[in-house]
Chain A
Amino acid sequence: MSELGELDRPGTPDSPGAWDEHSEEWLTGAPETDVRDTETTQTPSQTTTPATRAARRGTADPVKALMHRHRELCERAVDPLEIAAGLEAHGVTDRTAARFRHRDVFSLAEEMYARLSKDVETAPRSTPSPAPGVRADWVLLSVLPGALCAATVTGLHLTEGRIRPAVATLCALAVALAVRAALGRGPLSARSHPAPPGTYPRRTPAATRVWTYWLLAYALLGDDLLTAALTDGPDGVPAAVRDLSAAPALALTLACVPAAWCAHLFAVGARRKLAASRGLADFTAAVKPLLLGAVALFLCLSTALVALSATLLHEPAAYTTTVTLGALLLLARLLTKHGFTHAPAVVLGAAAAAEAATLATAFASHLPGCAFLAAPLDAVVAAGGPAAIPAVACGGAGLLLLLHATRSLTRASAHATPGEPG
C-alpha cells in the first residue's frame, strides 16, 4: 500500500507551482481523516466545518500553520502576489481565505509575506552555469592540423619527382579541412559561446576569412617573393614559389593546440569571475589580467613551437613573423567568437593591405622610371630582413586588436550565457 500511498495524492494539483512534501502530507492527510471520521462516528449528516477542523488540529494560529505548509513557496516569494499565485495553484480560494479571517487570497498572501521572518533573506544562490569542460573531441581536433602538417612535410621529404605536387596539394587540402574542423569545435568555435537566446548565431564575416587566407599565404611565400621582387623582378617568382618555407606552416598549424587551450582557459576563467564578481567594474578588473595572461601564454608557447619546427626542418626560425601572425589570428578569432566581428575584419584587412602594398611596390619598382619606389623597401629590408614587413604589419595589427580586446572582451555582456527567459 506504500506504493499506492505515494500515488494517493487526492489534492495534488498538476500545476507548475512548487509542491513540497509538507503540503503533500497535508493534502493526503485531509481527506483520509475525513473518511476515517465517518467510519468511526457514523454520523453521516454531520459535515466537517472549518471550525471543527481547526479545533481538531488544535492550532491557535492557522496562518502560521499555512505558512509552514507552504514554507518553500514563502521563502522563494519576491512579493505578495507570488504567494497569492502559488496558493491559488494549490487550491486555496477566497472561501478558504475566509477561514483565515481574510477577505481574499491577496490579503492572506500579504499577511504571509509580511510575517516572513526577514532573516530568511539568505535565499538559495543560483548555481553558476557549468563551465565548459575539457572534451576529448576538441582536444583531438586541435592536435589534428599540426599532425597532418607534419605528415605532409615528411611526405614531401620522402617523395620525389612528379608525384610531389599531387602529394603537396592533397595534403594541403587535408590540413585546411583539419583547421576548419578544429575551429568548428571546442573553445575556438562560435558554438562554444552560444549566441544569446533567440538571436541568430554569429557567423564569421567573409572578409575576415579572405584576409586570414591572404595573411597565411604571405607567411608561406611572402618573404621569398619580396626578396625575389627586389633583386630579380618578376623573373624570380617561380623559384620563390618552388622553395616555399615549410617551417612557419608547421609552427602555425601546431599552434592550434595552444590557441585552443588558451581560449579554453580564458573562457573558464571568465565564467568563474562572472559568477564570483559583485559588480561590472570588478568583473572587468578581474578579467583583464586573465586575457593578457592567456595571450602571453600563447606567445610563449608559439615561440617554442616555432623553434621546434625550425630545428626539425633545419630551416631558419622566423620568430617574429610567425608568432605575431599567430597572436593576431588568435585575437581575431576570440573577438569574432564573442560577437565583435567588425574590428577583426577591418584590422586583418589593414594588415593584409600593408603586405600587399609592399609586394606591389617591390614589383612596380622594376617598371621603367619607378626605381625610386624600391628605395624605402630596400632600406627596411637591409635593416631587418624581408621578415620585417609582415612582422611590423601583423605586430601592429595584433597590438590594435589586443587594445580592442582589453576593452571589449572584458565587458560582462560579452560573456553573457543564454539564460532561460520564459
Chain B
Amino acid sequence: MLVRIGLLTEGGYPYVSGDARLWCDRLVRGLGGHEFDIYALSRSERQEDEGWIELPPQVSRVRTAPLWTAEDDGVVYGRRARRRFAEVYGELASSLCAGPGAGSTPDGSDAATAEADRFASALYGLAELARDEGGLVGALRSEAAVRALERACRAPGAQGAAREARVPDLLTVAAYLERALRPLSLDWYGDDGLGSVDLCHAAAGGPAALPGLLAHHFSGVPLLVTEYGVPLRAHYLASGADDNAPAVRSLLAAFHGRLASEVYRRAELVTPGNTHTRRWQERCGADREKLRTVYPGMDASHFAEVGESPETGDTDTLIWVGRIEPAKDLVSLLHAFAEVRKEEPKTRLRVIGAATGAESEAYLGHCRALAAQLFPDEAEGMHAVGDNPVSFEEIGGPEAPTLAEAYAAGAVVVLSSVVEGFPISLVEAMFCGRATVSTDVGAVVEIIGGTGLVVPPRNPRALAEACVALLRAPARRERLGAAARARALELFTVEQNVEAFHGIYLEVVARCPVHKVVLDDTGEPLPFAVPAESHVPGRWTQAGIGVVARGGPSWATGRASAPVQATPVPAGEGVR
C-alpha cells in the first residue's frame, strides 16, 4: 500500500546542519515504497544558507518556512476581525494564566480537560483567523495582544506568578508567543499541501508538531509524533538559564505544557525513543495506549567484523570510550581503577575520546594529572622505559584507528557517567560484542537489559568490583558479550527502526484513513472518485501528474467526457 507521508521537521531534515537528519534520512531512504512530502521549518538564517542534504527520489516535494523570521503581510484587521482576534487571543492568554499546563493533573480531571479544551479551541481559532484573514503576525505583535494578556493576568482566576506580571514581562511573553505561533500563518494547510497527505509524521514534538495539529484540525489528517527528547523538558532546562521574571517563565511553561498535551491528545500514535521520554509524555497527558517506544537505530555494519570475531583484545585492559566531559565522571573511574589495580595489578585502562570546549579540556587535564598522581609509571624491567597504566587517546591515533578497533582493544568496556541520556557508546560496545560495566543512569538499564553489569553511579568501589569480576572470568565475558550483541542487533539497528515505522504507518493509515469527498462541478459528491487502486504501490501514471494518480486512473484524464474527472475537480473539498 502506498502511503503519502507528510514529514514535519523543525530545524532538522533536510537541512545539512539539522538535528536528527541522519535518522530522517535513513527512514526516508528505507521506506522507498512510500511517498514523502517534507515540510521543514528552519531555525536560523545560517541553517538555510547551508542548504539541504541530497534527497532520495521518494521525496516528492519539499516545502520550507523560516521560524526565525516573519514578515508582516500588512493586513490591517477590520473591526470584526479585530474583535475576533481579541476574543481568541484572550482565551489563549487566560488558559495560560490558569495554571501549569501539563503534569499537574495527569489523571485528567474534568477541570483539566476543560482547560485543555480552552487552549485547543483558542489555538485553532487563531489558525482559522490566520487562514481566513491573514495578518496574524502583525496582530500578535499589536497592542491588542498585549492588552489581552494583561487582562488575563489580572483576572480573578489567574495563578500567583502570572498576577505579578509587569509591562515588560507582558511584552516579552507577547513576543515569544508571536514567535511560537508563526506556523499558524503558513499556507501549508490547503488541499494541495498537508491536506493531501495520508499521514503527518512529526519528527519532533513542540513547534514541529504544530503544523501536524493544524492539518489534523483542518483536514483530519492523522498525526504521528516521534520524540527522542522532550521539548517541554528542554524548555525548562533552557529557561532555568535565562533571567526572565517568574511571570514570564510561568506563562511560557504553561504554553509549552499545554501545547505538548494538546499534541499528545490529538496524535494518533506517539513514539518515544526511550523510557525516559515515555515517562515525560505520560506525565504530560499522553494516553498510554498511544505510546509505542521505537528505539533509535544505529548502523551496525561498522561493528560487524569486530562483533563476529572472537575476543582479540588485551585481556587485562579496560576501555572507556566517549566524549570527555565532567558528566562522564572519569575521576570516579580513575578511583575505581585504583581499586582494580589492588586486585589485579597488571590491568591497564585506556580512555579513548576527545575533549571539546574549554571546560572539557580543563577536565581532561585534571584527569591526566590525577592519573599521574594515582599511578606511577611502570616498566617491564630495570632497563625498559616505562609508561603509565592509564592512557588517554583519541580515535584515529595509531593505537585506535577506528571506533570498532578501539572497542575491540580491551576486555571490558566501562561507562562511568553520572548523567546520561541514551548512551551511544554503550550501544556501540554491545554491537562489538564486548562485556560492559556501566553506571545506572539515564537509559542504561533499558539498553543493556541483562547483558552487562550495572552498578550505582558515583560508587567507585562497586564499579571496581564489577570490573574485577569480569576480568577474572573470560567465559562470562564472552557470554555477556554475545548476548549484548544479540540484543543490540535485535533492538538498536536501523532496520528495526525503519521496520517499526513502516508498521506504524500502515497501522495508522488503516485505522484512521482520511476520507476525502470529491465534489463535482455542481457541488454534489462524486461517488468512487478516489478508487481503492490509488493506494496500490508503485507509480502507474507517468511522473508529473500526481494529482491524477490519486484522483483517478490515468486513462481517464485525456477525455473531456470521461465520467470521473480528477483534474478540474477541486479535490478534497468538504473533507470529513
Contact = CB atoms under 8 A, between A and B. Distances in A.
A30 to B, nearest CB: 5
B316 to A, nearest CB: 20
Given A8-B366, A78-B161, A81-B232, A422 B242 contact: yes
A341 to B, nearest CB: 10
Interface stretch (A163-171, A276-284, A290-298, A299-307): A276-284
B91 interface: no
Contacts, number: 225
A413 B142 contact: yes
B440 interface: yes
A155 interface: no
A80 B366 CA distance: 36
A200 B71 contact: yes
B447 to A, nearest CB: 14
Contacts of A411: 143, 146
Contact of B100 (A7, A38, A79): A79
A34 B461 contact: yes
Which size class do A's interface residues fall under? 35 or more
Given A8-B366, A10-B331, A106 B103 contact: yes
A9 interface: yes
- B-side interface mostly: helix
Nearest to A46: B461
Contact of B250 (A78, A196, A418): A78
B360 interface: yes
A383 interface: no
Interface centre among A80, A106, A126, A420 (most CB of B within 10 A): A126
A422 B235 contact: yes
Interface stretch (B166-174, B474-482, B516-524): B166-174
A113 to B, nearest CB: 10
Contacts of A73: 240
Contacts of B172: 419, 421
A199 interface: yes
Interface stretch (A11-19, A250-258, A313-321): A11-19
A82 B253 contact: yes
Nearest to A275: B168
Interface stretch (B406-414, B452-460, B550-558): B452-460
Interface stretch (B46-54, B264-272, B321-329, B532-540): B321-329
B175 A419 contact: yes
Interface in B262-307: 276, 279, 283
B240 A78 contact: no
Interface string B411-453: 0000000110000000000000000000011100000000000
B465 to A, nearest CB: 7
A76 B103 contact: no
Interface of A: 4, 7-18, 27, 30-31, 34-35, 38, 44-45, 47-48, 73, 76, 78-82, 85-86, 88-91, 93-95, 104, 106, 121, 123-129, 196-200, 274-275, 277-280, 282-283, 411-422
19 contacts: A4-B369, A11-B418, A14-B326, A17-B240, A27-B458, A31-B458, A34-B460, A35-B461, A38-B339, A44-B464, A44-B465, A78-B246, A81-B283, A82-B240, A124-B243, A282-B167, A412-B170, A421-B179, A421-B180
Interface of B: 67-72, 100, 102-104, 141-143, 145-147, 150, 154, 160-161, 166-172, 174-176, 178-180, 232-233, 235-246, 248-250, 253-254, 257, 276, 279, 283, 325-327, 329-332, 335, 339, 342, 359-360, 362-363, 365-366, 369-370, 418-419, 440-442, 456-462, 464-465
Top 4 closest A-B pairs, CB basis? A79-B100, A78-B250, A85-B236, A13-B419
